[in-house]
Structure 1
Amino acid sequence: MKRKIAILLMTGICLMHTVPCFASQSSMVSVSNSEEAQYTTLPDADTLQKDVGFKPKAPETLAGGYQFNSGHITELFDLDTNGAQINKHKGIDFRYLKKDNNTTKSVSLSAEPASGQSHSKDTTVIKYGEIDMYYGMAQANSLSWINGDVCYILMDINKNVSKDEMVAMAKDMID
């Protein structure tokens, strides 16, 4: 089951980062380098700097009562027209859970360096101060934004987490 969720999550991230266009010379691919959680406790900023090369915000909780559950390092790269890997870099993918009575909701928080990020045309732009957040519902509920030099993506592949919940999570992280 965990493997199926990981595959669906990676597929969603890949689809979210792939922008179809005729002039495109590459497409973004995201790969988790382990089937097992690499983080069972939330890593500190120095550990993240060592592991992925940057210091993303990594909260213990997200707005609405979502608690850190596990995390992975991701390896991201573009594929050129010949299928060769270019622009390699690392990111993180953390999973947060919220348990209410007999229901469990989950959301993933991904972070990667912000260089060269683009957003799908099928998103709604939400302004928060100087930051533009992009909400989409194509393959999953997702909300992305750039804060400093890091691109953050909240995603719910089950479509159980509402737009308002995701916006509250993002605003809490930005503040």
Structure 2
Amino acid sequence: MNKYNWNNAFPDTPESFKNKVSAALNSLPDKKENDKMGNGKIYKKGSIKKKIIVGLVATMVIGTTVFAAGKVSSIISSSSSTPTYTTIPTAGQVKKDLKFNPKLVNKFGNGYTFVNGVIVNNKGTDDKGNFAGKTKSLDFTYAKGNDELSLYMENGRLGERSKGETAIANYNGIDLYYYSYTSKFVPADYKMTEQDKKDKLSGKYVFSYGSDSDKEKISQVQYLNWMQGGISYSFLGSDSNVSKDELVKMAQQVINTK
């Protein structure tokens, strides 16, 4: 099983969070392995890694989540490899499955259309590794041609936001926060050059080790986050053709959905 340096995928977060996330994610089975964790749920690292770990990037990178049990320093997010929904679910279905009612959009004005959705299980721990709460959330995939975006929806509130996240708009009294960075994925045994060290120090690249091939890959990661009615919404794209302005308009469409 390949080990991934997940620490570098989460800039601007405490070391305790990075260490726990790295250990947790590297303990998950690889893409072709199924691990019955005693509760009938299939945990799949491959699907999580492909989406840049939606639950973590969309929530933990921009701050800490607060559960009733206390402050969470790390979260393990997991989901089945099989989509929960292959057509847009009804509000009743989501309410029954997750006990909350997020805004549901089948197709956006710019052409991104619902492909599938999966229920994500999130387990939080504190700085000492103690259980600190759990939630369920939705991860919807939208496509426009070959381009894909994720919309992550969780029933909860966020703590402090990171220095890298910027409020870029306010719509109907709701602040929209945007964050982007360039990731450089490299093989697990990659040795940094002097230029790499300069690029890391300057913030040009966020380095992540353990890519699926022997080749280096540079990806542009961006997301837009907001809170409405106690529910957190996050668009996440990796090498997506969508622009920041388009993400804002898509967020506005979600906000306006009845």
Short-chain TM bin: 0.7 to 0.9
Deviation at 1:62, TM superposition (A): 2.0
Cα RMSD (Å): 2.5
Cα distance in 2, alignment partners of residues 136 and 155 from structure 1: 10
Aligned residues: 169
Cα distance in 1, alignment partners of residues 162 and 177 from structure 2: 9
Cα distance in 2, alignment partners of residues 34 and 85 from structure 1: 22
Partner of 2:94: 48
SS at match of 1:6: helix
TM-score (norm 2): 0.59
> Which stretches of structure 1, 4 residues or more, deviate above 6 A after TM superposition?
none
Note if contact 1:17-1:28 (Cα within 8 Å) is conserved in structure 2.
no
- Which entry has the higher C-alpha Rg, 1 or 2? 2
Cα distance in 1, alignment partners of residues 138 and 58 from structure 2: 16
Q: 1:127 aligns with which of 166, 170, 173?
A: 170
Cα distance in 1, alignment partners of residues 89 and 111 from structure 2: 19
Unpaired stretches in structure 2, ≥5 consecutive residues: 1-30, 32-43, 65-69, 184-220
SS at match of 1:62: coil
Note if contact 1:112-1:151 (Cα within 8 Å) is conserved in structure 2.
yes
Cα distance in 2, alignment partners of residues 157 and 83 from structure 1: 30
Residue deviations 1:104-155, cap 9 Å, x none?
A: 1111011011334443221221211200010000362100001112110011
Cα distance in 2, alignment partners of residues 160 and 89 from structure 1: 31
What letter corresponds to residue 179 of structure 2 in structure 1? G
More strand per residue: 1 or 2?
1
Deviates most, 104-113 or 137-146? 137-146
> Taking structure 1 as reference, are residues 77 and 158 closer, same or farther at Cα in structure 2, changes over 3 Å only?
same
Partner of 1:154: 235
> Taking structure 1 as reference, are residues 145 and 39 closer, same or farther at Cα in structure 2, changes over 3 Å only?
same
Cα distance in 2, alignment partners of residues 145 and 98 from structure 1: 23
Q: 2:225 aligns with which of 116, 141, 144?
A: 144
Unpaired stretches in structure 1, ≥5 consecutive residues: none
Cα distance in 2, alignment partners of residues 32 and 96 from structure 1: 19
Note if contact 1:28-1:76 (Cα within 8 Å) is conserved in structure 2.
no
Note if contact 1:31-1:74 (Cα within 8 Å) is conserved in structure 2.
yes
What letter corresponds to residue 172 of structure 2 in structure 1? G
